[in-house]
Structures are given as C-alpha cells and as structure tokens.
Chains A and B, each alone.
Chain A
Amino acid sequence: MKRNWIRTIIKGLSFTSVMFVFQACYGTPQDYGLDILVEGQVKSKTSGLPLKGIKVSESHNLQHEITDENGKFSFYTEFRDSLSFQFQNVDSVQNSQYADKDTLLTGIADSRLFLAIMMEEK
C-alpha cells in the first residue's frame, strides 16, 4: 500500500500520466481495452438436444464461433453495453430444419455472459 502511494505521488510530481503506459522496446502495447467472455449453449427447442455446428456471431465484427458436439460455444469480444448475436445454421444437412435466430442484449454490465439459446424449426 505504501509503495503505491509513493508511485502515485511521484507520478503526480513528474507531470505526466503516461508513466505506467509502457511497452518493452520490442514488445506490444499494453492492453487497456475491455472485453467480455461470451459463453453459451444452443439446443433444439423441439427435442431439447444440443445442436452442433451452429455459427454464433456478433454483429459488429468478423468474429464467430461454431458450436461443439455439446452445442457449446465460448469467445471473447469487445465489451459494449449492448450486443447483438446471430445464430445461424451453416451445416445445411444436419441442422437444415432450424431457422436462424437473432438476440439483442442491452444493459450489459458484467465481463462474462452466458447465453442459453433454443432454436426453433422452420
């Protein structure tokens, strides 16, 4: 605690706020961005069984993930207080009967999100 006080005082005295924003000469910038871990599971509304091969994407960027054999997915994405996800059948044989689904979430405050998605048949 005492050490942090020393740092704060000296930081103030040196008239600069960038002293802790450093990078090694051959390294990367530091990561001060916020992101959110989005996890979830996609199931069939009819059978209740998990759906494999569903493409889960976030509208504002290129990111997507495909659900595994347990219908589960997990990825980090940029934090925003509202996020929009699409669930699409990209395996035209196995899941062809399921309609694509959109989900909009607002008022997000946590850095972790769990989505339980039920996909309906067309």
Chain B
Amino acid sequence: MISSLKRYAFRKFKTAEAEIHELNYLFWECTTRCNLNCIHCGSDCSKDSVYRDMPADDFFRAIDTIKDIPQNFTVVFTGGEPLLRNDLEFCGKELRKRGFKWSMVTNGHLYDEQRHISLLNAGIGALTISLDGLKESHNWLRNNTKSFEKVVNAIELAASSNRINFDVVTCVNQKNLKELGQIRDLLISKNVKAWRLFTIIPIGRAAQNPDLLLTDHQFLELMNFITDHRKNKEIDMKFSCEGYVGKYEPLVRDSYFFCRAGINIGSVLIDGSISACPNIDRSFSQGNIYTDNFYEVWQNRFQPFRNREWTKIGQCENCKEYKDCQGNGLHNWHGNKQNVLVCHHKKIEKTATILNKTK
C-alpha cells in the first residue's frame, strides 16, 4: 500500500518536474580530445579529434542567456578528457563569477597534485573519476598500462579534500564483475565515500566487443550485489540512473528511476548543439548555440524529452511497467528510434523466470 502510494506520488512528481523543466545541470562537452583510447568509449573520442575545443567565450555567451539562475545550478565539464584543456581553471573561475557551480568528469590520468590544487583554487565543487576494475581489468578497458596507477593516485587526491563532492564510477563488464567486492574494499581503503556502478550499452566502440556487455544473468548478479552491499553503510554504493530496474527500483539507488534528460539536464555539445546528456543520440539535438538563443531553446523546445509518449513503441508499447519506466533512459534510443536498445527490466524478469523454472 505504502509502496504503491510512493510510486504514484513519484509519477506525479515526474510529471510536475517535466512541466517546470528547471535547468539544474548542464553538461559542457568542452573537448572531444582524449588522452586514452578506451575500448568501451561510447563517444568515439580520440587523441586527434575532428573538432577543435570549444572556445570558452562561445560557451559563456550561450549560458549568459540563462535568466533566473536556478538554485544549485551546476555546469559539468565533460569530454573527451576535460583535463587536456589548459584553460579549465579560467573557465571554472568565470563560472563562479557568474554564480554557477561547476564540476568535472575525468579519467584521472592527468589528475596530479598540482592540478588538484589549481582546480580547487578555481572553485571546483564535485568530481567523478572512473575506475573500471583492479589493475589488469582496468588497464584492459582503458587500453593503457599506466592508467590504474594514475587513477588510484587521482582518487587518493580527490578523497583527501573535504570540499569536493566526489564519487567513483565503474563500468561493470565481463572482466570486472567478479572483482566488485575487491574494488569496493579498495575504494573504502582510499577513503572514497560514494561509488556508482553502471553497465555499458552497445554503442560506439562497445558495440563491437562482447566482453564488455553483461549477460542477463550477470546483470541480475549485479543488481543483487548492489542490493546486498547497500545495507552496509561503509560506502554509498548505487546503480546509476541508466535504466529502470523493476523490482530492484527502491533497492539499488536512493530514489526511483527518473531520466531527467531534457527535464533538468541539458548540454552544450562540442559543435554547439544544444541537447541533454552527451551520451544521447545526437539526432535529439534541439538547436545550436551558434544560431539559437540557448535559454530560449531550453525553455521552448525539448518536447521529445518532456513528453515521452513517443517511446510507447516496440517492446515498450504494451509493457505494464511503462508508467514507471517511460521508455527507459533516453540514451537507449538510437537510429530510427523504433525500439529501445536495452530494457533492464526485461533482462531481470527473463532471468528471474528462468531461475524459478530451474528450482
């Protein structure tokens, strides 16, 4: 009864949030250059990007159109690898002058003590670093023999600061699934407070490599791992908001599934496109900062993000969970958008049915 009431209230909350669509979280794809060549990269970034880094002034002109700055509005620097930009600290300070908070997603390879200090000095407030396994499995995924050593150093530095709201993210795959307990212990030993796990969806380079993708049974194993270990409060572990996970919804994260792309989350992409999360198919772009007023686009477009009825197609069409799921995370819609690429709920249900039959 209480659970049904909570779900009902949450649905109403999501509808209200879509109607209000307050911009709280803005990704800036400030570069698509990258110093690594990870085998799972969904963005197809490379050392020699076809795009030049977006000039800081172009981005500032776009965000200066924002009226009524929402509380806790955050700009998230992403890439590529943001630390390849030498003007990151300048950009951060400029954002703070405007009253905006800022944060960064990094592979940690260039995050040394000097950069840690200069980023703090420039007012960074939150940080996410990727650690994708113990030494061998991390370096395999990151395609670099030094990456593990460097990222552990970065994690130690970030964890030493009380100022930064910091978490580690792990892409769970065939090679690191059995290591999750050891990774957890490693993070706790490094004083990491929060750990987010996600799976890799078959896009970009990942689509070509089956070692990166979990089987349905392994996905269920992951859900059970998170559920079990969340009871222990030593580290705040959660499943990312990448998809709706049915009966695991209240168990694997702090809140029910809600894809806020285009509702509270926007982005300015490397070519000036205005969209939501950078991992969403680029065909969803709603405008371009070089031809449109950014805030007008945010306020007046984004209909496919705020009304998801169009996702009631393919396997979602007759799904009983649709009212809570609403087509899963929007990054699961690609190409002609006639069917969702990954259904986390179906993976779970299918495996649970097989397990029940074998009992």
Are B265's CB and A24's CB within 8 A?
Answer: yes
Are B240's CB and A25's CB within 8 A?
Answer: yes
- The reply on B78 being an interface residue by CB < 8 A is yes
Tell which of A23, A24, A25, A62 touches B117, judged by Cβ atoms closer than 8 Å: A62
Query: Which one, B5-13, B32-40, B224-232, B286-294, is touching chain A?
Result: B5-13
- The reply on B235 being an interface residue by CB < 8 A is no
* Bound Cα distance A61, B117 (Å): 9
Are B25's CB and A76's CB within 8 A?
Answer: no
Query: Which one, A14-22, A40-48, A89-97, is touching chain B?
Result: A14-22
- CB-defined interface of B203-217 with A at 8 Å, one 1/0 digit per residue? 000000000000000
Question: For the side of the interface on A, what is the size category?
Answer: 35 or more
Query: Which one, B124-132, B134-142, B175-183, B349-357, is touching chain A?
Result: B124-132
- The reply on B186 being an interface residue by CB < 8 A is no
Instruction: Please indicate the chain A residues that have their CB under 8 angstroms from the CB of B101 in the complex.
Output: 30-31
How many CB-defined contacts (below 8 Å) exist between A and B? Answer: 151
| Given A22-B255, A33-B163, A63-B120, residue A28 in contact with residue B261 (CB < 8 A) | no
Are A25's CB and B163's CB within 8 A?
Answer: no
Tell which of B27, B120, B126 touches A31, judged by Cβ atoms closer than 8 Å: B126
* Bound Cα distance A73, B309 (Å): 53
| Given A22-B255, A78-B163, residue A14 in contact with residue B120 (CB < 8 A) | no
Instruction: Please indicate the chain A residues that have their CB under 8 angstroms from the CB of B20 in the complex.
Output: 3, 6-7
Are B76's CB and A25's CB within 8 A?
Answer: no
Are B258's CB and A31's CB within 8 A?
Answer: no
Instruction: Please indicate the chain B residues that have their CB under 8 angstroms from the CB of A63 in the complex.
Output: 117, 120-121
Starting from the known contacts A29-B165, A77-B121, 18 additional A-B residue pairs (CB-CB under 8 Å) come to A3-B16, A10-B12, A15-B2, A15-B9, A22-B255, A22-B264, A24-B277, A26-B169, A26-B240, A27-B105, A31-B72, A31-B74, A31-B125, A33-B125, A62-B160, A65-B121, A75-B120, A76-B163
Closest 4 CB pairs between A and B? A31-B125, A75-B121, A76-B123, A28-B103
